[in-house]
């Protein structure tokens, strides 16, 4: 398999999802400003798992749109 931008973005998203899953804390807000609020607990775990799944879909090109 050739490494392309899809794999870079996908595995980066997987890394972020794992970080959120382990930490159970997701800051939400506009980049460059302090977070507006934080998602904690089970909802942070859900967001982490969703990010991992989406990252794997992108990285492994499971859905071929184009």
Q: What is the pLDDT of residues 15-60, one digit of tens each?
A: 999 999 999 989 888 888 888 888 999 999 999 999 999 998 888 8
pTM higher than the cut 0.85: no
On the question of pLDDT at 1 being above 60, the answer is: no
Q: Give the per-residue pLDDT at 35.
A: 86
SS3 for the chain is: CCCCHHHHHHHHHHHHHHHHHHHCEEEECCCCCCCCEEEECHHHHHHHHHHHHHHHHHHHCCCCCC
Q: How confident is the model at residue 62 (pLDDT cuts 50, 70, 90)?
A: confident
């Amino acid at each position: 398999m050739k490494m392309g931008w899809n794999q870079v973005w996908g595995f980066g998203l997987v890394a972020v999802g794992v970080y959120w899953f382990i930490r159970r804390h997701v800051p939400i807000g506009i980049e460059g400003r302090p977070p507006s609020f934080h998602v904690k607990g089970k909802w942070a775990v859900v967001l982490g798992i969703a990010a991992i799944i989406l990252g794997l879909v992108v990285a492994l090109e499971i859905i071929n749109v184009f």
